[in-house]
Amino acid sequence: MDMFENLLDKAKDAFDVALKATGEAVDTGKQKFNVVSLETKISKDYKALGELCYKKHKGEDIDFEKINELVADIDAKINEINEIKQAIKNAKAKRICAACGAAIEEDTIFCSYCGAKLEFTTEE
Ligand SMILES: [Zn+2]
C-alpha cells in the first residue's frame, strides 16, 4: 500500500465516522467517495499494465497471466463504478413533495405523507 492509498483509507475511516453520526443523508456522498477510490485503483492498474507493455516492447519476458488479472480487475471495478453511479441516479430520481418536502417514489401521483399532488421535479 503506498502513501496515497494510505491517505485515502484514512480519509475513508474519517468519512465512515461522519456517516455514522449523520445517518443516511450523506449516503450519496459516500457512494461518490467510493467511485473516486475505485477510479484511483483503476489508474494504478492501468499504470501496471503500461509497465508490462513497456517491458514487452523492450523484449523482456512478462507474465501474461498478470495482464489477464489486471484486465479482469479493471473490468470488475468499472462494473462496480457503474452500479454505484446507477444507485446514485436512482436515489436522485426520487421526487420531492413541494408541499411537505418528503422524498416520494417516482411512480406515485400524490404524496404518501401529506396527500398533495406531486410536481414533476427531482432533487438536485
Ligand atoms: Zn407531501
Kindly give the distance from the C-alpha atom of residue 66 to the centroid of ligand 1, in angstroms, as a whole number: 55
What pLDDT, on the 0 to 100 scale, is given for residue 57? 95
Question: What pLDDT, on the 0 to 100 scale, is given for residue 2?
Answer: 65
Would you state the pLDDT for residue 46? Answer: 97
Per run of 10 residues, the mean pLDDT along the chain (length 124 residues) is 66 59 60 94 97 95 94 97 87 79 78 82 48
- pTM for the full predicted model: 0.57
Give 27 Cα–ligand 1 centroid separation in angstroms.
22
Give the CA dihedral 2, 42, 50, 64, nearest 10 degrees.
100
Cell numbers standing for residue 117? 399532488
Model pLDDT, residue 28:
78
Q: Report the C-alpha gap between 67 and 61 in whole angstroms.
A: 13
Q: Cα–Cα distance between 112 and 118 in angstroms, integer?
A: 10
What does the pLDDT read at residue 69?
A: 97
Distance 22 CA to ligand 1 centre (A): 23
